[in-house]
Amino acid sequence: MAVRSSATAEDLPDASFAGQQETFLNIRGDEALLEACRRCYASLFTDRAISYRQSKGFDHMKIALSVGVQRMVRSDLGSAGVMFSIDTETGFDKIVLINAAWGLGENVVQGAVDPDEYEIFKPFLSNAAITPIIEKKLGEKSSKMIYTSDADHPTRNVPTSRAERAAFVLSDRDILALARWACIIEDHYGRPMDMEWAKDGETGELFIVQARPETVQSRREASTFKTYQIKSRGRKLASGLSIGEAVVAGQACLIDSPRDIDRFVDGAILVTRTTDPDWVPIMKRAIAVITDHGGRTSHAVIVSRERRALPCMQLGPSYPKPVAKPTPNPNQVQQPSPRTICRTAARTSQFQPGLVL
C-alpha cells in the first residue's frame, strides 16, 4: 500500500507545503500500515515542517492532517512522474507539462533524477487526428526506485540500464492520454492543477495518484513584467535548466547535505547535488540554488517558485560530476571569483564568475 498525508493548510496561494509531510510506499501488513499512519501524523512535527510553518506564520497546533491509503501501482516495473496543467515557468495556460522517469515517482518529486519532459498543446487535444506534442526532452534517468522485501527499507534505488536511459519513458499515446486527463481534472476543479501519475508495469494501465491546485503561476500578477540584464560578463562556468527568471550575484557555497546547514553562509548561492524538502531552511537563506539533478516539477522547485526572487539552475548530466563536494572547513565558502553570477531565463541558465551592475 501507499500511505499518503494530506494537511489542511496545504496548497495555499503563498504556501504549498510541497513535500513537508511524509509519504510511505510499498507498505505491507497491518502492523506496518498502522506504523506508517502514525509516522504520517508525526511528520507534522519534523524539523522541516516546523521551520516551514514558522516562516509562513502558521499556528503549529491549528494544522490538521488526514492519511490516505492507496493500493500501490506497480510503477516499480513501469514508470511514474508529475504533471502540470500549466507551464510552470511562464504561466502559459495552454500547455500540459509532464515529467517522467522509470520506477516509482518519488525520485521525480524529490528531484533525484533528470526526468524526461514532454509539453503538449491543450487546445488541440480534442482532435484525435492531431498529435499536439510540442516538445519531448530525453532525461538521463540514471536511477530508478523499486520495491524491496525489507520491511524497514521498503524501497531502494538501482541504476537504470543503458536501454532505459536511451529510451523515452512514455509513448505518444500515453503522453496524450495523461494530457487529456490533466484537462479533465483542471476543468473539474476550475483551476490549474499539479498531479502525480503512475504506470503499472504489469498491466500497462495509467493512474492519477494525486491532484492538487497549482499554487504559483496561476496566481502570478499578470500586469507586471520584470526583465534583467547583465552589464559585465565573465567566463561561463556552466549552464543548465532554468527555474525562475532572475539575475543574482554572490558567493558560491558548496553543501553536500542538509545536516551541514550550519556551514551555509547567508546570502550565498547554494550549490549541491540535489535538493528535497529537508533543504527548505537553507533555501530560505540563499539567493540562488544550483543542483546536479532534478526537473521542473520537483517539490523543492515548487517551494523555490513560492520565493519568487530565488532563481534555480539544474545542471543535468552534461556537466562533469561531482558538482558539489562537502565544504572542508565549516566556515569556508567556495568562491570561484570575487562574485559569481547566477542568471536564469525562461529555458536555460548560466553560472559565471564576474561582477554584475
Query: pLDDT value at position 218?
Result: 62
For residue 341, pLDDT over 60 is answered with no
C-alpha cell at 143: 536511477
Cα–Cα distance, 298 to 275 (Å, whole number):
9
Last residue of a domain, one of 25, 45, 70: 70
Q: Is the dihedral of CA 32, 34, 35, 41 positive or negative?
A: positive
7 and 102 belong to one structural domain: no
Cα–Cα distance, 143 to 157 (Å, whole number):
6
The count of domains in the chain is 3
C-alpha cell at 276: 528535497
Over the chain, what is the mean pLDDT?
A: 82
214 and 84 belong to one structural domain: yes
122 and 201 belong to one structural domain: yes
Last residue of a domain, one of 49, 70, 91: 70
Query: pLDDT value at position 325?
Result: 43
For residue 101, pLDDT over 60 is answered with yes
**pLDDT per residue over 274-321, tens digit each?**
877 778 778 878 888 888 887 888 766 776 776 655 777 777 655 544
15 and 83 belong to one structural domain: no
109 and 186 belong to one structural domain: yes
Residue 19 pLDDT class (50, 70, 90 cuts): low
242 and 344 belong to one structural domain: yes
15 and 64 belong to one structural domain: yes
Cα–Cα distance, 273 to 321 (Å, whole number):
9
**257: in domain:** yes
255 and 338 belong to one structural domain: yes
Residues contacting residue 108 through CB under 8 Å, at least 6 positions apart: 80, 81, 82, 99, 100, 101, 115, 295, 297, 298
Q: 267: phi > 0 → left, psi -120 to 50 → alpha, else beta; which?
A: left
Cα–Cα distance, 357 to 343 (Å, whole number):
13
Query: pLDDT value at position 307?
Result: 64
Last residue of a domain, one of 37, 70, 103: 70
What residue numbers bound the domain in which 49 lies? 2-70
- Residue 350 CA: distances (Å) to CA of 126, 248, 273, 309: 38, 11, 17, 16
293 and 175 belong to one structural domain: no
Query: pLDDT value at position 163?
Result: 97
For residue 139, pLDDT over 60 is answered with yes
98 and 38 belong to one structural domain: no
117 and 183 belong to one structural domain: yes
**226: in domain:** no
**pLDDT per residue over 40-92, tens digit each?**
999 888 887 887 788 778 888 888 889 999 999 999 999 999 999 999 888 89
pTM: 0.78
143 and 248 belong to one structural domain: no
**96: in domain:** yes
